[in-house]
Every structure is written in structure tokens, then in C-alpha cells.
Amino acid sequence: MARSETRQPASFDLDDPSVRVADQIPASELEIEVSPEAQKKKFQTDSSPKAKTTSQEMKPTQAVSSMHLTARFSRWGGVLLSSLGVLASLAAGLAATELVESLFARADWLGWVAVGFAALAALALIAIVTREVMSLSRLRKLGRIRDEATRAARDGSEHDARMVIAKLKQLYRGRTDCSWQLTRLADAAPGIFDAADLMKISERILMKDLDDRAKAEIAQTAKRVSVVTAVSPAALIDIGFVLIANLSLMRKLAALYGGRPGTFGMLKLVRMVLTHLALTGGIALGDSLLQQIFGHGVAARLSARLGEGVLNGLFTSRIGLAALEVCRPLPFTHLPTPAIKDLMSEVVRPGS
């Protein structure tokens, strides 16, 4: 920040209208959306190293930002898809118009009924599209908050960190299961002035409980998948079950962290999870390779079906963990990144 040389010590009256005391700065000011350009600019200036004693070393897995996950179609593919889309909607519009016209030709009231239903259909379509767009943007927002939080914790200013916290508050506002945490965060945050520390307490206060629930959810699903695979009579049944269980797990995790994906959001989420798995697969494999060989090997010796069950359970936990990392609006900095081994004890434990 450039500061002019002439700034001399001075005193001001608190009644002076130009003096704004920090606790009284309107909340709306903290919730300004950062424009994409400003963000880009921030990204560029990012590379300048700024000594910050509190910044934590980033773990390599966290370098997987959502930038990678939103890999785009090639440009021509996009043109093809959108022109096909336009054609399809034109065809649908034409068909509808023709239908209405021919109905009018038969009887006026039939025509009006058709018009009514067409309008209703259009309204529903708009509603669905809006919902999908919102769910997509919510999902994207999670990734964006995570990127900003990573930057703020590394070398951001205190203001950046407060912006992230304001966005988190917006995200979890109105959720009864988060209200206690939000109150605690609001209580603790004003007395802290370091970006990294602010990110630390937000992660610790807001994410702890959500992480635990997410882990329990993953373990539960993995366990169910294992058992069903082990006992199912036909391969087709367990393929179907694994698919459905995994999809619903992803949806639950996204909802837990504030994503609430719709249909397209779900597709996008699946793609993000798969991309994440592809990018971090190597690391995760190294993490639990030994366990896998051992676990699978012994289980498979005992029974082929049991071995498959264990394998499917592992697969589900892997998917779940990837979904967790994709949906979590803050990077794992102070809380430990959950690994397969944290879940395995839960998966293989009898009962419950």
C-alpha cells in the first residue's frame, strides 16, 4: 500500500461524521462480490513473495484448485453443442406452435387450454433452469471460496480473509446445524488481525463438525456397499447399487458443505470428483497402497466375494473423500486431511 510521506500524528473527535469506528462499518460493505477482473488481477500479483510469519506451508494436494476441475470442452465442441441446442429448442418451439395452431383450428377452447399448458410448461422450464443455474453457481462458489481462502491464508491481507469469512457466513446462513458455529466465529473473528489466523479459526470452528459428519457418511456408505457386494447374488445388482450409493453419497456431501446440487450440478460434481481422483489418484494410492494389498489380499483369500466387497468399499471411500475435498469450501490447512485409513476402522467395524 502506498502511503504518502506527510502523514503526521493527529487526533480526531469520535463525533466527527467522517470517522468510522470499525464495529460500525455496515455489514453490506463486507459482502461485496469480487468482480472477476479484480480477481484476475489479484491472481497475477500473487506471485510476489510477501514475508508473512504466520503463513503455513501448503500441502501439495491443496494445490489442486478448482481451476483444474473446471476443464473446458474444446471451443469447437462448444460451438457444436450450443448450435445443436439452439436447433433443438427451435424445433420444440415450432412443434408447440403448430400444435397450438391446429388445436385452435379445431376449437377455440382447446387452443386456449393448450396455450395455458404451454405457458405453464415454459414457467416450469424457467424455474428448473434457474434452479439448475443456481445450483451450479453454488457449486462453483464452493471452489471459488476455497481458492480465495487458500490465497488469503498464504499471503492475503486481513481484508481478503474477512471477505472469505463473510462469504462463508452467507453460505451457511439459515442452517440450524451451523448457527452455533457461526455465532462462535462471529464472536472470535473481530479480535484477530492476521489473515492466516482468521482462516485457521474459520476452518476449525466451521469445518470440524461438518468434516466429522462427512466422514461418518462416507464410512456408512462404504460399509453398506461392501456388505451388499459381498452378499448380492448377481453382479448386475451390485454394480447398480454401487453406482446409486456413490451418487447419493456425492449429493449428500455437497449438500452438507452447502452445495445442494441439482441434476446438472450433479453431473458437474461427478466430473469434478472424477477429475480430482485422476489428479490426486497417485497420491491417494501411495497413501493406502499397502493397506489395500493387504486388506484385499487377505479378504480375497477367505472368499472372492468378500474381497470384492472390500474393494468396492475402498472404492466408495475414495470417491467419497474426493467429493469431500471438492465440496469443502476451505482447504485442509489445520485440520488433518482425512485419509482412507481413518475410514477403514469404521468400515470394518461390526455392528451399528
How many residues sit close enough to another protein to count as binding (CB under 8 A)? 33
Closest CA relative to residue 161, chosen from 352, 330, 351, 350: 330
Is residue 317 within 8 Å of residue 347, measured between CB atoms?
yes
For another protein, which is the closer residue by CB, 13 or 352?
A: 13
Indicate whether 21 belongs to the interface with another protein (CB under 8 A): yes
Indicate whether 46 belongs to the interface with another protein (CB under 8 A): no
For another protein, which is the closer residue by CB, 24 or 352?
A: 24
Indicate whether 197 belongs to the interface with another protein (CB under 8 A): yes
Is residue 253 within 8 Å of residue 142, measured between CB atoms?
no
Indicate whether 212 belongs to the interface with another protein (CB under 8 A): no
Site for another protein in 78-117 (CB under 8 A): none
Name the residue type at position 173: R
How far apart are alpha carbons 162 and 339 in whole angstroms?
Answer: 30
Pick from 68, 204, 213, 260 the residue near another protein by CB under 8 A.
204
Is residue 73 within 8 Å of residue 81, measured between CB atoms?
yes
For another protein, which is the closer residue by CB, 162 or 268?
A: 162
Pick from 8, 44, 345, 352 the residue near another protein by CB under 8 A.
8
How far apart are alpha carbons 247 and 266 in whole angstroms?
Answer: 8
Indicate whether 345 belongs to the interface with another protein (CB under 8 A): no
Indicate whether 200 belongs to the interface with another protein (CB under 8 A): yes
For another protein, which is the closer residue by CB, 25 or 90?
A: 25
Indicate whether 49 belongs to the interface with another protein (CB under 8 A): no
Closest CA relative to residue 139, chosen from 49, 15, 268, 19: 268
Indicate whether 29 belongs to the interface with another protein (CB under 8 A): no
- What is the three-class DSSP state of 87? helix
Q: Which of these segments, 14-22, 250-258, 267-275, 276-284, binds another protein (CB under 8 A)?
A: 14-22
Residue 152 grid cell: 488469503
How far apart are alpha carbons 265 and 131 in whole angstroms?
Answer: 10
Closest CA relative to residue 55, chosen from 155, 193, 192: 155
Indicate whether 186 belongs to the interface with another protein (CB under 8 A): no
Indicate whether 174 belongs to the interface with another protein (CB under 8 A): no
How far apart are alpha carbons 136 and 157 in whole angstroms?
Answer: 29
Please report, as ranges, the residues that interact with another protein according to CB under 8 A.
Answer: 1, 3-4, 7-14, 16, 18-23, 25, 52-53, 158, 187-188, 191-194, 197, 200-201, 204-205
